[in-house]
Amino acid sequence: MNTTHPVEDDPELIDTEAASRLLGVPPSTLCTWRSTGKHDLPFVKVGAKVRYRRSDLNTWLDARRQTIASPLAHIRETTPVIVRASELRAIFGISRSVAYDKIDPKSAYYDPSFPRPVKLTGAAIGWRYADLMRWVDSLHTREAA
């Protein structure tokens, strides 16, 4: 009589707890993904047991690898801290006149979420790059909602 259990003895197959540690998500999230089919994460069902193949999880993770966290991340490293009005179009696609409209409360295009400029000299202004990036990120968040 054979008392070994191939599913339990196969080091390639891991349980939900081990898979959750490997992926860095709670076991309940894996359960939700299984029941809804979200993310198309492969699993093996043997009776009441749910197992994951390590190779499937690694393949799934590799398919989701990203090299740029944000579409504008490559610009962040090469852009000066202060962005002048004349540079807004090249970096953000915003003309000087649109930027001034966004900061003018009397304008029909006033946007209270648009960053306030900083005064550089008597007449020169610029925007902190980090403030502009937060504004762009907030636009992406609003679009996703």
Question: What is the number of structural domains in the chain?
Answer: 2
Domain end marker among 44, 63, 82:
63
Q: What is the domain range of residue 119?
A: 73-144
**Cα–Cα distance list, 112 to 14, 107, 126, 138, 143 (Å):** 51, 11, 17, 12, 17
Which CATH number belongs to the domain containing residue 19 in this structure? 1.10.10
Q: Indicate whether 96 and 38 sit together in one domain.
A: no
Closest listed residue to residue 17, CA positions, set 44, 48, 50 = 50
**Residue 78 sits in the same domain as residue 102:** yes
16-53, pLDDT tens digit by residue?
999 888 888 888 888 888 888 878 888 998 888 999 99
* CATH number, domain containing residue 137: 1.10.238
Residues 54-113 pLDDT 10s: 999 988 888 877 665 555 555 555 555 888 888 888 888 888 899 999 999 999 999 999
